[in-house]
Structure 1
Amino acid sequence: MGKNWTDRDVPDQTGRVAVVTGANTGLGFETARVLAEHGASVVLAVRDVEKGKQAASRFGSGADVTVQELDLSSLDSVRAAAADLHATLPKIDLLVNNAGVMYPPRQTTREGFELQFGTNHLGHFALTGLLLDLLLPVPGSRVVAVASQGHRIRASIHFDDLQWENSYDRVAAYGQSKLANLMFGYELQRRLAPHGTTVALAAHPGVARTELMRHTPGVLRGLFSVAAPLFTHDSAHGALPLLRAATDPGALGGQYYGPDGLGESRGYPEVVASSRQSYDVAIQRRLWTVSEELTGVKFPVG
């Protein structure tokens, strides 16, 4: 395929089952829409079922789309959603862990985790672990972790205060959560490799104009609006790295896709590199162990 990969390059997805979190709007919706247009059966895993149904109504009449309630800020909801999907799906070919929150005032999940870390990382960690048995038997199945350039901004894994109880910096907390998404994806790929059926990849959308920006601090929001024409793109273009990681036959486990433009802010999807610290295997493994302890979810891969 040429360099300028678009949704027209998505192969036929007939017979594939895809679960996309946060699929009622933005990147998740665009990802789900393209997958359905190419023949996939798509589950919109969303917190607000009514909004999910409204999103489903926007798909073409021939689309095979269902809605699944999933609140990633509640491990009870994650477990319930996983049980529902086990009852309704014979398999999963593709799990796109897209949903997330960005820069909210300090809040906690049902279990008391800081909202960004709990939702963006721990919720998806638990969901993936609980659904992995539906992916492992399926040759060519994939898990896509949706990361962000935020993983480079004041980001590290604060093992001494993962929940930001001592002080709270919403930008740094978001950075921690997105760094965790990447590290989870890389460690998951390492554990999946011996099985030879399922692979884990990651992708980031660049700077996409989505509802995720609603909690952005005022100063940053002002700068964003001024720079928008030069350094941003819409959700449909932002979804392309996710779609390429999810469907490109040439994509490999452990790869990270992002836009090819200046600063990876916009452009066509290609393989990119994440931050140096994101590749630290010791931290990846420590994060995995802590995440299993916090969620109570053990993966069927060692």
Structure 2
Amino acid sequence: MTKTALVTGANKGIGYEISKHLLEEGFRVLVGARDQERGEIAVSSLRAFGDAHLVSLDVADLNSIDCAVTTIKNNYPELSLLVNNAGIPGDMHQAGWEFSVEDLQATHQVNFIGPFALSKGLLPLLTANKGTIQNISIPIEPLPYFNAFAYATSKAPLNVMTKSWGMSFEKENIPVEIFAVMPGAVSTDLNGRMTGDFVKTSAQAAELIVNFVLDDENHNGQVINYDGTLAVY
């Protein structure tokens, strides 16, 4: 049976490349996109690589998440992989105290609340299919060269969710694997197409991310750095 994956934020950047890579590996890919037109354009392009379908999904909108979950339950009950990729960085250079509460709420909604709600909604399918939840994340320790307050504080609970759910899945014998991958610096729209010797392309990041899905290793509860080492906190 064809494996089916949902990738959020899949109409561009890392999400598009993850979708492409999964298609090349024989997955059916549900392309989660909040913009209908951009999503349709992405699906049309991705169909050159395999069986791609558009799912309208805005992770900032709980009603949109509920509708997407219903659509998937009704039409793709074989879903076995969820990739929580969609995200926003907030202002990556603004001091923490300068953010408004509203700006922080918006960032946390997309980077944590949305993925939480989507994962919760799709958990019965993923349990039935012995599936996987893969979260795309970032390091949360502030550093002199990377001190993105809204971004880090919104990804921190996603990392906690990864570890907490993984522990509970194991304790309760729930046949779902959840883990997070931190691909490192990647040139995307989110960072203004940054460049440098240490910066990956979206395609390079996607290959790294998908390889963890395909390696047949048990990564349950892990938050994994781009070099394969584990984040410990």
TM-score of the superposed pair, with normalisation by structure 1: 0.68
The 8 Å contact of residues 46 and 67 in structure 1, kept in 2 or not, is answered as yes
User: In structure 2, what is the equivalent of residue 240 of structure 1?
Assistant: 207
Q: Deviations over 1:55-97 (max 9, x none)?
A: 1122243611101111111111111111111111122110000
SS in 2 for 1:63: coil
SS in 2 for 1:33: helix
Compute the displacement of 1:108 (Å). 4.3
Say if 2:135 is the partner of 1:145: yes
User: In structure 2, what is the equivalent of residue 191 of structure 1?
Assistant: 168
User: Could you tell me which amino acid in structure 1 is paired with residue 122 of structure 2?
Assistant: L
Compute the displacement of 1:241 (Å). 3.3
User: Could you tell me which amino acid in structure 1 is paired with residue 180 of structure 2?
Assistant: A
Shift in alpha-carbon separation, 1:238–1:198, aligned structure 2, 3 A:
same
Equivalent residue in structure 2 for 1:22, among 2, 6, 9: 9
SS in 2 for 1:80: helix
The 8 Å contact of residues 18 and 93 in structure 1, kept in 2 or not, is answered as yes
Shift in alpha-carbon separation, 1:66–1:253, aligned structure 2, 3 A:
same
Shift in alpha-carbon separation, 1:240–1:62, aligned structure 2, 3 A:
closer
- Structure 2 unmatched ranges of 5 or more: 92-98
User: In structure 2, what is the equivalent of residue 73 of structure 1?
Assistant: 60
Separation of aligned partners in 2, 1:24 and 1:30: 9
Separation of aligned partners in 2, 1:248 and 1:19: 19
User: Could you tell me which amino acid in structure 2 is paired with residue 128 of structure 1?
Assistant: S
The 8 Å contact of residues 23 and 32 in structure 1, kept in 2 or not, is answered as yes
Equivalent residue in structure 2 for 1:63, among 16, 34, 50: 50
CA RMSD of aligned residues (A): 2.1
User: In structure 2, what is the equivalent of residue 115 of structure 1?
Assistant: 106
The 8 Å contact of residues 199 and 252 in structure 1, kept in 2 or not, is answered as yes
Separation of aligned partners in 2, 1:49 and 1:153: 36
Separation of aligned partners in 2, 1:231 and 1:120: 24
Structure 1 runs of 4+ with >3 Å offset: 104-109
The 8 Å contact of residues 245 and 257 in structure 1, kept in 2 or not, is answered as no
The number of residue pairs the alignment matches comes to 222
Percent of matched pairs sharing the same residue: 27
